[in-house]
Amino acid sequence: VLKPGRMLDPAALARHCVARIARYKVPKEFFSVEVLPRTGSGKIQKHLLRALK
């Protein structure tokens, strides 16, 4: 989730990840959402995130 007024730079985000984690763990693609879908207890609903793609 991006802060208001910020833009997603996929190349910069990928470089940041490559510098800090193993290359095989770096996501192949990035996308931004306004809010993360959460359950009533505050957990992120991963199945709904997958459906956003």
Q: Is residue 32 part of a domain?
A: yes
Q: Is residue 33 part of a domain?
A: yes
- Banded model confidence at residue 53, pLDDT cuts 50, 70, 90: confident
Q: Is residue 19 part of a domain?
A: yes
Tokens (6 digits) for 28: 């192949």
pTM here is 0.61
Per residue, the 3-state secondary structure of the chain, as one string, reads: CCCCCCCCCHHHHHHHHHHHCCHHHCCCCCCCCCCCCECCCCCECHHHHHHHC
Q: Is residue 4 part of a domain?
A: no
Domain span holding position 37: 10-52
CB 17 within 8 A of CB 27: yes
Q: Is residue 37 part of a domain?
A: yes
pLDDT tens sequence across 7-52: 889 899 999 999 999 999 999 988 888 889 999 999 999 999 889 8
Q: Is residue 3 part of a domain?
A: no
Count of structural domains within the chain? 1
4, 47, 15, 50: which is closest to 31 by C-alpha? 50
